[in-house]
Amino acid sequence: MIKNTLLTLFIGLTVVPAIAQKKLTLEDAVMNQYNAYYPERSTMVKWIPNTANYAFLSADYQTLFKANVKNNKKIELINTSKLSELTGKTVRWVNVLEWKDENAFYTLIENTYFLIDVSHKSAKKIAEVPENAENDVLHSKINAVAYTIDNNLFLTTKNETIQITNFDKQIVSGQAIARSEFGISGGIFWSPEGNYLAFYQKDESEVADYPLLNINTIPGTLKSIKYPMAGQKSEKSRVGIYNLKTHKTVYISPKGASDDYLTNLAWGPKEKYLYIAEVNRDQDHTKLQKYDINGTFIKTLFEEKSDKWTEPEHPVYFVNDQQFIWFNELKTGFSNLYLYNTDGKLVKQLTDHNWVVQDIIGYDDKGNVYYKGTGESPLETHYFMVNINSGFQCNLTEIAGTHKAIFSTDYKYMFDIYSNYETPNQEIIYDIVKRKKIRTVLTAENPYKNVTIGTAEYGTIKSADKKTDLYYRLIKPSNFDPTKKYPVLVYVYGGPHAQLVKNAWLGGASLWMYWLAEQGYLVYTVDNRGSANRGFEFESVIHRHLGDNEMADQMEGVKFLKSLPYVDADRLAVHGWSFGGFMTTSLMLRYPGVFTTGVAGGPVTDWKYYEIMYGERYMDRPKQNEEGYKKARLMEYVNHLEGDLLLIHGTVDDVVVMQHNLALVKAFVDNGVQVDFFPYPMHKHNVRGKDRVHLMTKVLNYVIEHNK
């Protein structure tokens, strides 16, 4: 395997002085990073089944084209005007859900599913769902759609509609459970042939209600959500299996405690068995359970235990009728692939990387498994192949950077889209079988070539325990002068499942950071221990004491900044959101005097106010870890504040509920400490749309005005 080379140190965006340069506005930086300033790219690429052709959309999403691997000739297949004519619907963009064959694809227009034949220019209605339907999932083999209305599950075909569940609002069917932890993103699971429909169900009757204020009514009204806080009553999960022939539903409940988590649901071959990972509430013990289609428990295939946590995020992946692949990060410290038989016996370890395998993409008839992972650099994303019989492995994307690969249905071709520090976007088609490049589809120009924009430096510092390299990004203004002193904004997240510094275009940075640099700032980010894609030891160091090691690493970043001759050590500011808001406020209060200014958005301020599934994984329950909860509780440190702190929160935040910020503000008031607070009415955890310009103006103006 060819190792990728990590690019570091002073890799910036090209400036073309011969053309008049445009100054970047903050509004442009916020609203146009993924619009006007997004590098040119092929849109919504999908391979057409069993061909050497691929389909893609025009940049405005109005026209569907196809092209062949051998040439760049575009052939128009259909456009929105024709789709409107064929379906009698208002079609705003071409939406290809999946290709049925080389001539037809499925689409959803308004609330109706159609099969569109591009060769005959015809449309066949498949199924129509109600306008208030949500979470709909199509099974194209039987032309049926499962969906939810409110908290119940429905099924519709061209001829009939069936209500599968009929419970009150406390019982939620067909939606994501466990607050979308454990890799859960949906709640409806068709069996391969469409004879059965499995679904998640959660009983929230014992979960506390949490009130959110709607200010758009006169008078204001309260909307209650179910929000299970750490240590309190949790939801109770079940899995339902609906038989489309008998119209009967059977249910699977946890084998352990009633509040165990049922996760990573997957069907086995031939629709005979269902596989579910059951995780205990303490999240330190996982069992892979096997059930038949009648909901009968067959056996526990294997178990995983840890003194910190177990966190299955991938269901079983079958490669044949008798063998499946399972992800495990506890055995080697890094997520790797393991081959098991259907009795739960380990056949072999397929990969043995000291880096993170992230996902399985597919499997071909030659025994090759295609998967993605970081590769040798944790800053990158690459695609790989391993043969389950011979063990042969190779890297399919050897160019350094962050890749997204799309494979043809026979796995003969790969459409590779990648970027890195120097490359905005490049697209290449490869012949996987012959292991050679066929052609370059697109090489994007630098979208900032006529914009005054600065440079970014990339490198490493040592973690606080001196054992690990931490990766940083330092953005400088276009007119950077090493003889001057610059103020710094430290942008921080620092929590699990996130990585801010990447070998990708802009290095993973938001464009507003480059805008701030042009105002005479340096913008610095380092991924501390506890963040993603570095292995279990690196990530689990946070267990039971959130904030401690993360802040220690951030302070190593501060030491590094202060060692630079062009950094004004007396003018350091810090900003972050969510876990980054927790980190920002923690740094201001527990390391007083280091930063003159902090802006914390949607911060966790007391982990006992946060939800069970995430909070208890990393902190255990409050009664199990009283010292850890108290130490991380920001109200304990309000008297330590030096400098200026702005707290921001969406008033209907259903992720980090507003109680966090209000309780912290009350502690400041109780102790006579002045602090600034700004709410965003009717916004949830993130401020989106045009109001985001207001948000970033508020944040950055505060930094500039107070960090003096």
DSSP label at 298?
A: E
Q: Which residues contact 40 (CB under 8 A, 6 or more apart)?
A: 59, 424, 425, 442, 444, 445, 447
DSSP label at 518?
A: H
Cis peptide before 622 (omega within 30 of 0): no
User: What distance in Å separates the CA atoms of residue 204 and residue 283, rounded to the nearest whole number?
Assistant: 19
The residue ranges of DSSP E strands in 640-684, in sequence order, are: 644-650, 676-680
Among 571, 569, 570, 605, CA closest to 585: 605
Q: Work out the end-to-end distance of the chain between its first and last CA atoms, rounded to an integer number of angstroms.
A: 51
Q: How many CB atoms lie within 10 A of CB 516?
A: 27
Residue type at position 672: G
Q: Which residues contact 568 (CB under 8 A, 6 or more apart)?
A: 485, 486, 487, 488
φ, ψ for residue 343, nearest 5 deg: -90, 0
Residue type at position 265: L
Q: Tell me the two tokens of residue 677.
A: 């607070």
Q: How many CB atoms lie within 10 A of CB 639?
A: 12
User: What distance in Å separates the CA atoms of residue 71 and residue 60, rounded to the nearest whole number?
Assistant: 23
Residue 109's H or E segment, with its range, is: strand 104-109
Specify whether the CB–CB gap between 489 and 540 falls below 8 A: no
Distances (CA, A) of 510 to 366, 386, 519, 683, 703: 42, 35, 15, 21, 17
Distances (CA, A) of 455 to 378, 422, 492: 22, 11, 19
User: What distance in Å separates the CA atoms of residue 656 and residue 662, rounded to the nearest whole number?
Assistant: 12
Distances (CA, A) of 339 to 79, 192, 327: 45, 21, 9
Q: Tell me the two tokens of residue 478.
A: 């276009």
The residue ranges of DSSP E strands in 194-309, in sequence order, are: 196-203, 209-214, 221-226, 236-243, 248-252, 261-267, 273-279, 285-292, 297-305
Q: Tell me the two tokens of residue 2.
A: 């060819």
Among 361, 475, 375, 462, CA closest to 421: 475
Cα 237 vs. chain centroid, distance in angstroms?
23
Tell me the pairing of strands 152-156 and 161-163.
antiparallel
User: What distance in Å separates the CA atoms of residue 616 and residue 75, rounded to the nearest whole number?
Assistant: 54
Active-site positions read 578, 653, 685
Q: How many CB atoms lie within 10 A of CB 349?
A: 14
Q: Tell me the two tokens of residue 299.
A: 């056996």
Please report the sign of the dihedral spanned by the C-alpha atoms of residue 198, residue 204, residue 205, residue 211. Answer: negative
Specify whether the CB–CB gap between 336 and 353 falls below 8 A: yes
User: What distance in Å separates the CA atoms of residue 113 and residue 407, rounded to the nearest whole number?
Assistant: 25
Distances (CA, A) of 86 to 83, 90, 114, 125: 5, 11, 10, 10
What are the start-end ranges of the H helices in 134-279? none
DSSP label at 343?
A: T
Among 636, 587, 579, 632, CA closest to 603: 579
Q: Tell me the two tokens of residue 143.
A: 């032309």
